[in-house]
Structure 1
Amino acid sequence: MNILAILALTLGLTTHCITSPTDATFAAPVSNAKPISHEIWNGLLKKYVDNTGMVNYTALKANDAKTLDKYLELVSANAPAADWKEDEKLAYWLNAYNAYTVKQILDMYPTASIIKNQLQLIAKNGPFNKKYFSIGDKEMSLNNIEQDVVRKEFKEPRIHFALVCAAISCPKLRNEAYLPAKLDAQLADQAKDFLNNPKKNAIAKDKVSVSKIFDWYKDDFGKSDENVVKFINKYSSAKADDGAKVSYMKYNWDLNDQKTAQ
């Protein structure tokens, strides 16, 4: 998630180009499965993720890597069916993205970041573009989930506060699974938490300095700085004027690791 600004700087592409679907012909996998339980993932999050969203990767890798694999086997074998409710589908994809991201970190851990250099962000075998897991009969990447399924199908801007790419500047990894019955409340809480974190967004009456997420995905927040401010005011305790000047913070790709946060 959230690799797009660096791609633009590296390649000189427009934000519109690099936030487009990675594969225009991609169709989300489907099955005849019933909605799955996210209990295993929920237990791992409660055990290894603190209230600030930092992850104890050391303990997770040592003690429960196979438990994560068990959950991912469940995800892989049970793609959403056409008759699932929208909240069931979205909760599935949000949990899948975050769990497969954690899996990738465990496979390379110890590491200081999900990326070793900026070239990995555009590489076909980089962490966001490589197809390292299968759902149903489709080999997929993290960008397939984010760009080709979640953004395309759900038109829900708050997903940008729920998809976590294992970086410090990401929204926090929630220490519970996303569940259909309370998904709307969870997404609202994630948006409030992110926008009221002064390390990630600074909101004042006449100016706001906000996460690059709002720049990279501006199309999802109303296509203009003015509409970004309107969205921010829905969830931020501090309110900005409609004409407030908007700037965007630098993105920190350091790993969301409890060990390095100490």
Structure 2
Amino acid sequence: MRKFILNFGIMITGVYMCASCNLISSAGFNDKGLPTPDAEKIEQFHNSTKIDHSIWDELLKAHVKKDGKVDYQGFKKDRFKLDLYLNKLSGLKPDGTWSRAEILAYYINLYNAYTVDFILQHYPVASIKDISGAWTREFIKIGDVKISLGGIENSLLRKMEEPRIHFAINCASISCPKLLNEAYTPEKLEEQLEKVTAEFINSNENQITPDSVKLSSIFDWYKSDFTQNGSLIDYLNKYSEVRINSAARISYNDYNWALNDSK
């Protein structure tokens, strides 16, 4: 009995630590049977009319500043257009006929658009973390399936072995990689992912010198995604404007969860 209590206590402690260290990465591991083409699948992009992201592109250009701050009040005034786009996304369900680029662009835009929608449902709010179930509530429709923001990130996007998605999806917070003020599209996806990755790594969210790096907590939470083909420093050096020594000291910044509101 004593051994059982000890083991149960260890298990509960472990669960608590996991849940408290990172709400995003621990939420929603269930892909609901939706497709996640692996990184080995090489596909030539072809012209497609599966989905038109132009409404989302128009909204982003109108209501997202160059610094990534979001005009949620402006989005609220354009609620009809946002709902139109969300309904269009939710009416589709990716399948084997979609290219990898089409699926990635779809999931990224889906995540970002529904994050804005989620904030608007509770606006004004100081932080997305103040809203219960932000990453676990299954309020997003994909065809006949319902999924959470955590499910899209962890069970769909991360399974596609594309670490740059961490700089493309936006969690509505100051320390998050900024929301790009244009929609992701299959045609421009590679260029867009390279752009947002380089911009974030060289932003003020990271302090980089040759012998020491103090990084966004994103690189701590999702380290395994960035070290599939080398060390974390190897990954950073692909984009960093400062060459980092392989033995550089690594530490992490606190994360600012305040809302990325432009007001």
Q: How far apart, CA to CA, are the structure 1 residues paired with 2:192 and 2:15?
A: 35
From 248, 253, 256, the equivalent of 2:252 is 248
For 2:88, give the aligned amino acid. Answer: L
For 2:191, give the aligned amino acid. Answer: A
Residue 110 of structure 1 aligns to a residue whose secondary structure is coil
Residue 203 of structure 2 aligns to a residue whose secondary structure is coil
Matched, 1:232 2:236: yes
Q: How far apart, CA to CA, are the structure 1 residues paired with 2:86 and 2:227?
A: 34
Q: How far apart, CA to CA, are the structure 1 residues paired with 2:31 and 2:209?
A: 43
From 167, 174, 186, the equivalent of 2:173 is 167
Matched, 1:149 2:156: yes
After superposition, the C-alpha distances for 1:38-73 in whole angstroms (9 at most, x for unaligned) are: 000000000000101100111221x20111000000
Aligned runs of 1:163-202 on 2, under 5 Å?
A: 163-198=169-204, 200-202=205-207
Identity %: 44
Structure 1 match to 2:71: 56
Q: How far apart, CA to CA, are the structure 2 residues paired with 1:252 and 1:212?
A: 10
Structure 1 match to 2:94: 80
Q: How far apart, CA to CA, are the structure 2 residues paired with 1:91 and 1:25?
A: 17
Q: How far apart, CA to CA, are the structure 2 residues paired with 1:25 and 1:129?
A: 13
**1:202–1:25 Cα change, 3 Å:** closer
**1:10–1:196 Cα change, 3 Å:** farther
CA contact (8 A) 2:35 2:156 kept: no
Q: TM-score of the superposition, structure 1-length normalised?
A: 0.85
CA contact (8 A) 1:75 1:135 kept: yes
Residue 165 of structure 1 deviates from its aligned partner by: 0.5
Structure 2 match to 1:108: 122
Structure 1: which 5+ runs fail to align? Answer: 1-7
Structure 2: which 5+ runs fail to align? Answer: 1-12, 37-47
CA contact (8 A) 2:18 2:26 kept: no
For 1:243, give the aligned amino acid. Answer: A
Larger radius of gyration: 2
Residue 13 of structure 1 deviates from its aligned partner by: 2.6
RMSD between aligned alpha carbons? 2.6
Structure 1 match to 2:144: 137
In the comparison of the two structures, how many residue pairs are matched? 239
